[in-house]
Amino acid sequence: MGRHIKEQIIEKELSYTKLIVKIFRIGDDIHITLQGGEKPHIGCVVLAVPRPSMEGNGTRSSTASVLNVTGHKDEILCRWLAEQMAARENAVTVCCGGFHMDHITKEQIREVKEAVEEIIKTP
């Protein structure tokens, strides 16, 4: 996502539902919302701040702070998106949202994670 893009909506059809990720620029910063499954919701909020990598190789990384709603597991998805986007775009990034499916299987969870990883690779 280049700095000239103001809004991007990515919809991924999964084998059993849809995942929607919306990316907005707020000045130089980025706001991401993630939703999907039977009951989209806000399960967490992640704030990621870009920084030089601690490996000392000149690359960027990020540091994240997380607020979770009790009992929700959305941090895995939102944290990945926020940290990766902050490092890639060198921008303060917030990601919030949630994905919920009753009786979700391990294979379905893996499918959601793979979709999120694919989304962050999209320029």
Residue 111 near residue 48, CB atoms below 8 Å: no
Cβ atoms of 34 and 80 within 8 Å: the answer is no
Q: In what helix (H) or strand (E) does residue 120 lie, and over which residues does it extend? A: helix 106-121
pLDDT at 3: 54
Residue with structure tokens 């990020």? 62
Computed over every residue of the chain, the mean pLDDT equals 92
Give pLDDT, residue 123: 64
Q: Which domains does the chain show, CATH number per domain?
A: 7-121 (3.30.230.90)
Answering whether pTM is above 0.75, one says: yes
CA nearest neighbour of 122 among 4, 38, 10: 10
- The pLDDT-based confidence of 121 (bands split at 50, 70, 90) is confident
Distance CA 91, CA 69 (A): 25
pLDDT at 122: 72
